[in-house]
Structure 1
Amino acid sequence: MIDYTPLYAALQHIPELRPWLAQLPAQVAEGLSPHRWGDLPDWHAALRALPDIAPSTIDVQCAVSIGSAEDASPEQLAELEQQLRKLHPWRKGPWEVFGLTIDTEWRSDWKWDRVLPHLAPLKDHLVLDVGCGNGYHCWRSFGAGARRVIGIDPSAKYVAQFYALKKYLGEDQPVDLLPLGIEALPPRLRAFDTTFSMGVLYHRRSPMDHLRELRETLRPGGQLILETLVIEGELGECLVPEGRYAKMRNVWFIPSCATLESWLRKCGFENPRTVNLNTTSIEEQRRTDWMHFESLADFLDPKSPHKTIEGHPAPLRAVVVANAT
């Protein structure tokens, strides 16, 4: 089940985060309120019904892989799949769970492979992952050596998915997912060695405010890993979709890389550099048996796949690394 008691105890021993404890339990209670999430009792029931299986192996370095099919009976494996499917849709992954592949909408492992070569070593880092979904990259950060990882995402379903898998990855592991947005963090926290914001910036009405919020999470010199939609273009260019972008209502600003780097400098970061550009493919983001809704192929112009269905440039994603001053 979802239990933050070990996290609260651990934060007592992290001076930079200890003051947050005065408000964090109330924030978590609000984030997981049944009044906000009518399906929350069903998700809790799925978590309670997960079978008790001890994994023979766990890998969070090369992938996220838990045990093998030989660790459980056929009845347990059937029950496991039934309960995990109750938490549909699964968007970030993939996850290998006792021989069962949760084939998620996104190949988040491909994104991690693009990011990893450009990370300063995470050994002993305190890591924050903003808008982390179900926490896939939290576990990969832990596998890369982070001493503690805190993910935040306001979706209670993603929190349920995370804790379904943490049951088997290790409930005592220093990786947690809080049902919060970045605005819930104390101001001027300046606590984390590394902060990730991947797939968030273009959903924010004020990108400058988001960048400033990200800076306030980082200690001086701490590294930001920002992954977001961009357009091809020069300094000062930015797409502001008047209607939808790739059928999404909540896409506000898509800058060029030069513009984004300028924004970062303006918001208190130094040495911003674009380290990767990648056009999203229908192999990386697609409908699967674990995510039945529309996906990228439905968002592109079928006659001109280099454009969205609305006529905007197709999704181009950049990884930008910067350091907080």
Structure 2
Amino acid sequence: MIDYRRLYAALQHIPALRGWLATLPDQIAAGLSPHRWGDLPDWRAALEALPAVTPSSVELASAVSAGSAGDLSAEQRASLESALRALHPWRKGPWQLFDLHIDTEWRSDWKWDRIAPHLEPLENRLVLDVGCGNGYHCWRLLGAGARQVIGIDPSAKYVAQFYAMKKYLGEDRRADLLPLGIEALPPNLRAFDTTLSMGVLYHRRSPMDHLRELRETLRPGGQLILETLVIDGELGDCLVPEGRYAKMRNVWFLPSCATLESWLRKCGFANPRTVDLDTTSLEEQRRTDWMRYESLADFLDPQDQTKTAEGHPAPKRAVLVANAL
């Protein structure tokens, strides 16, 4: 079910990425090792249990969906839902398979609607999505015309979720998710036309290193889409939470937009600008039947939802765009 042979064949025809083939298969094998992920056999079993059904239609432009209710029997639908629920929690989406709606924790389609107007035309572009989770935006990028989309995320469960979807969205489509972090990419690739980093920067101990890594993925002039947590403030302002932030341990730097634009210039990007600023709502991130753990409502001060449980400013997310020098 998780098969990278088509990707390997495609990379043979991309000169800037061809050399990566010398190490990539071993990196993928390490990323999907059962010694690292004890539940991996269960996730593979869930993929194998997915019913073999060919959807009557696939939609990637306005949503991510495949098929209709009439495409599968009641028994097949029950098998489909059972297999997908074995991959809980589902954080990014939503997804529609036949008449099964996967209502994910995040309304990632809302985030897509915020970034899509600012994407340079994707036709014939090679796109990288860093820290892509289960790859929802990879499919939206493909639906918007990208030639090839590569997502990277070190979580093997997200990889399993992605390939569960790929079974029905099209195994021959040029979108893949690799079980890797950005540090696994060859240095100074300068290969991608567009790189996305959404919801990653604040998890990095060194934001400057992450921005430099992102620049190294892009060809000169290539576009960066950066989405991250920010605070209100002026140039130079940055929150460094001493303990947790919204109950997350691994939140390091929350800059103001002006500060982040300055960091981008310092790290080799031209014309950085903030194109969207949005306070995360309880409608956009919430607990659902497909993600039954704590979510945003549990991370905020119950008496004052403008603050996190620790008293910091509540999550506010900015989208910035820039071009690599």
Alignment match, 1:297: 297
**Cα distance in 2 between the residues matched to 1:65 and 1:4:** 22
CA-based RMSD of the aligned residues comes to 0.3
**Cα distance in 2 between the residues matched to 1:109 and 1:274:** 20
Alignment match, 2:231: 231
Report the secondary structure of 1:323's partner residue: strand
Alignment match, 1:75: 75
Alignment match, 2:284: 284
Deviations 1:176-201 (A, max 9, x none): 00000000000000000000000000
**Cα distance in 2 between the residues matched to 1:298 and 1:113:** 26
Alignment match, 1:43: 43
Alignment match, 1:100: 100
- For residue 220 of structure 1, report the CA deviation from its aligned partner: 0.2
**Cα distance in 2 between the residues matched to 1:123 and 1:228:** 26
**Cα distance in 2 between the residues matched to 1:26 and 1:83:** 28
Alignment match, 2:138: 138
Report the secondary structure of 1:138's partner residue: helix
**Equivalent residue letter for 1:95:** W
* 2:270 is the alignment partner of 1:270: yes
**Cα distance in 2 between the residues matched to 1:288 and 1:322:** 35
- For residue 263 of structure 1, report the CA deviation from its aligned partner: 0.1
* 2:243 is the alignment partner of 1:243: yes
**Cα distance in 1 between the residues matched to 2:11 and 2:299:** 42
**Cα distance in 1 between the residues matched to 2:10 and 2:77:** 33
Q: Map of 1:147-162 to 2, 5 A cutoff?
A: 147-162=147-162
Report the secondary structure of 1:16's partner residue: helix
Deviations 1:258-308 (A, max 9, x none): 000000000000000000000000000000000000000000001010000
**Equivalent residue letter for 2:89:** P
Report the secondary structure of 2:16's partner residue: coil
Report the secondary structure of 2:129's partner residue: strand
Alignment match, 2:213: 213
Report the secondary structure of 1:137's partner residue: helix
Deviations 1:133-177 (A, max 9, x none): 000000000000000000000000000000001000111110000
**Cα distance in 1 between the residues matched to 2:146 and 2:197:** 16
Alignment match, 1:111: 111
**Equivalent residue letter for 2:186:** P
**Cα distance in 2 between the residues matched to 1:35 and 1:192:** 32
- For residue 204 of structure 1, report the CA deviation from its aligned partner: 0.1
**Cα distance in 1 between the residues matched to 2:254 and 2:102:** 31
**Cα distance in 2 between the residues matched to 1:19 and 1:54:** 35
5+ residue gaps, structure 1, are none
**Cα distance in 2 between the residues matched to 1:232 and 1:94:** 30
- For residue 108 of structure 1, report the CA deviation from its aligned partner: 0.1
**Equivalent residue letter for 1:56:** S
**Cα distance in 2 between the residues matched to 1:76 and 1:254:** 46
- For residue 216 of structure 1, report the CA deviation from its aligned partner: 0.1
Alignment match, 2:57: 57
- For residue 253 of structure 1, report the CA deviation from its aligned partner: 0.1
- For residue 123 of structure 1, report the CA deviation from its aligned partner: 1.0
Report the secondary structure of 1:37's partner residue: coil
> What TM-score results when the alignment is normalised by the length of structure 2?
1.00
**Cα distance in 1 between the residues matched to 2:293 and 2:132:** 20
5+ residue gaps, structure 2, are none
Alignment match, 2:91: 91
Report the secondary structure of 2:173's partner residue: coil
Deviations 1:19-46 (A, max 9, x none): 1001000000000000000000000001
Report the secondary structure of 1:124's partner residue: coil
- For residue 230 of structure 1, report the CA deviation from its aligned partner: 0.3
**Cα distance in 2 between the residues matched to 1:63 and 1:170:** 15
* 2:307 is the alignment partner of 1:307: yes
Alignment match, 1:254: 254
**Cα distance in 2 between the residues matched to 1:142 and 1:50:** 23
**Cα distance in 2 between the residues matched to 1:276 and 1:165:** 29
**Equivalent residue letter for 1:278:** D
**Cα distance in 2 between the residues matched to 1:36 and 1:323:** 36
Q: Map of 1:160-171 to 2, 5 A cutoff?
A: 160-171=160-171
**Equivalent residue letter for 1:74:** A
**Equivalent residue letter for 1:48:** E
**Equivalent residue letter for 2:181:** G
